[in-house]
Amino acid sequence: MERFRLFQSIRRWGQPLVAVILMLGLVSCASAPDRQGISRQQATPASVQSPIYDMEQALRQRDGVAEDISGAHLLSEGTRAYAARLAIIANASETLDVQYYLFHQDPTGTILAWSLWEAAERGVRVRLLLDDMEKRPNDFPINILDSHPNIHVRMYNPFYWRGGRGWQLATDFGRLNHRMHNKSLTADNRASIIGGRNVGDEYFAANQEVNFGDMDALLFGPAVRQVSEQFDRYWNSELVFPLHLLNDEVVPEGDTSRASEQIDQAVEALEGTEYAQALVDGRILQMLQNASLPVTWAPIELWYDKPDLAAMEARDSSNALVINRLLSLFSEANSELFLISPYFVPRDSGSELLSRKAAEGLKVSVVTNALAATDVVAVHAGYAKKRTQLLKAGVELYEIKARPNVDPKAWSLSSSSSLHAKTFVIDSRWVFVGSFNLDPRSAWLNTEMGVLIDSPELAEQMLSGVHELLGNIAYRVSLNEGELRWEDLYSGETYHSEPHADWTRRTGASLLRWLPIESQL
């Protein structure tokens, strides 16, 4: 969905060439607001007066783990991922640092935003850092949050003028094409949730039309302090502006009334539903309170791009970029690469690397979306160009079905699903969970983050669980006498063309393969 939004914005805002030329003659690019006087803010020391601290200590005592070891609990189900966010927000006593690419104005987004307001009301300092690609007329409802004295809202690489986004994108595309894709939520510098999910119904299994299967990690210990350091670096970056510098209008009374009505509607929409029951059944808060939450204690390292990626200062061969560190890790793999990426566009260098590792005898597997399941046909077209080459090299390819054969609560509560998780397992030891897609946009255009967990136990759990799930949700792609073939791992049925994709998708994907747009995918 997030990749689709960028393409949709470009298409919607795109103007005929003549109109753009005329517009350039009449207006100039909006200038950046004056950043002088913006105060630097830092994360506070990890609280020892927080309920979250008590929960963490109980978990450590249960497992006999020292303070210098990080912990991780993976959140694969959307309902549990949402409940975990609400739980750590509700138990925060001092600070909340929240960072997202998309933050929707739908029931789950509205309730989570209201949870931040309630935290601020009890004295918690809330810092909300958002990318500015998501359009919000008059900045509602984040203008409401920003009006609270304990909530501070800042925007990454923003549209300097709150209107006229079309011509801003057309005239300042080089800057605005770089987005902050990072996703984190940290409470009291004691617990963080990072991963692939934005904030919105489709990410938390609350959308009846489509659900994104995803993966997050709930973190404890030193890894949380790494997330906080990352947040501070972005929060204080020259590419980040307080919302009040972009929109200095006083919040109208009508907006506050509308926000109150929206909260009531959001709560009413979820109250008494199967989804609300699923939140309760997840028992995430109860497991935190009674120290029964399964936690993997292991060395955990946070990888993240510099916030000034737009300036291209980090585009080198060092470890400044997440992509370079991942490529080094993949290159050094000895036995297995298991890669899950909803947007998979390996290009020549990536295809050569995976083919070479397969030729060295490694088991190389890639899980991505089928054409019928993807939300961006152009991305699938970029992947499809390399599909035959990868299969010939011995790479195993699995494509996720739009309608998996699973108990709805195990995958989604909606009628259609799409893979959104970005998770890699290397040598049955290393597990990477984050926001990074294996495509050019994540590599060079967006900022990304993720954690590398050194745990053979967790890696084995991941591989076992995913392989079991693939039998219900995926096609295995292979070559039969040089022709592509899709085998439904659940029914055994075989297809000789993109399964369940309508003719418009197939035609569009075929045409898009010929366009020179891979660098933007």
Between helix 107-121 and helix 253-270 the angle, nearest 10°, is 120
Tens digits of residue pLDDT in 236-286: 999 999 999 999 988 888 888 999 999 999 999 888 888 899 898 889 999
The pLDDT of residue 184? 98
Provide the pLDDT confidence category of residue 8 given band limits of 50, 70 and 90.
low
| 78: pLDDT strictly greater than 90 | yes
* pTM, rounded to two decimals: 0.91
Please compute, for residue 425, the number of CA atoms within 13 A of its CA located in the half-sphere on the CB side.
Answer: 23
Same domain, 130 and 188: yes
Same domain, 460 and 319: yes
Catalytic residue among 232, 427, 454, 500: 427
Catalytic residue status for 500: no
Catalytic residue among 97, 188, 255, 488: 188
Assigned domain for 388 exists: yes
Q: Which of 32-41, 375-384, 407-416 has the lowest mean pLDDT?
A: 407-416
The pLDDT of residue 505? 84
Catalytic residue status for 181: yes
Assigned domain for 294 exists: no
Domain that holds residue 257: 2-30+54-289
Q: Which of 20-29, 42-51, 432-441, 479-488 has the lowest mean pLDDT?
A: 20-29
The pLDDT of residue 442? 94
The pLDDT of residue 504? 83
The pLDDT of residue 189? 97
Catalytic residue among 104, 152, 386, 420: 420
Length of the chain in residues, anyone? 521
Assigned domain for 251 exists: yes
How many domains in the chain? 2
- Domain boundary (267, 289, 311) is at 289
- Domain boundary (289, 313, 335) is at 289
Same domain, 274 and 343: no
| 26: pLDDT strictly greater than 50 | no
8 Å CB contact between 207 and 119: no
Assigned domain for 49 exists: no
Residue 127, SS3?
Answer: strand
Interatomic CA distance for residues 120 and 115, integer angstroms: 9
Catalytic residue among 183, 380, 386, 401: 183
Catalytic residue status for 420: yes
Report which of 178, 181, 50, 153 is spatially closest to residue 97, judged by C-alpha positions.
Answer: 153
Assigned domain for 411 exists: yes
Assigned domain for 515 exists: yes
466: domain CATH number is: 3.30.870.10
Same domain, 258 and 305: no
Catalytic residue among 255, 386, 422, 488: 422
Catalytic residue among 152, 181, 386, 401: 181
Could you identify the residue written with the tokens 């699973």? 406
Tens digits of residue pLDDT in 145-159: 999 999 999 999 999
Assigned domain for 36 exists: no
The pLDDT of residue 284? 95
Catalytic residue status for 216: no
Give the mean pLDDT of the chain. Answer: 89
Tens digits of residue pLDDT in 168-194: 999 999 999 999 999 999 999 999 999
Tens digits of residue pLDDT in 401-450: 988 775 444 334 344 678 889 999 999 999 999 999 999 999 989 999 99
Catalytic residue status for 188: yes
Please compute, for residue 474, the number of CA atoms within 13 A of its CA located in the half-sphere on the CB side.
Answer: 22
Same domain, 209 and 326: no
Percent of the chain topping pLDDT 90: 71
Interatomic CA distance for residues 283 and 83, integer angstroms: 8
Same domain, 371 and 244: no
The pLDDT of residue 146? 96
Catalytic residue status for 357: no
Assigned domain for 452 exists: yes
Q: What would the mean pLDDT of 286-304 be, rounded to a whole number?
A: 97
Interatomic CA distance for residues 431 and 459, integer angstroms: 6
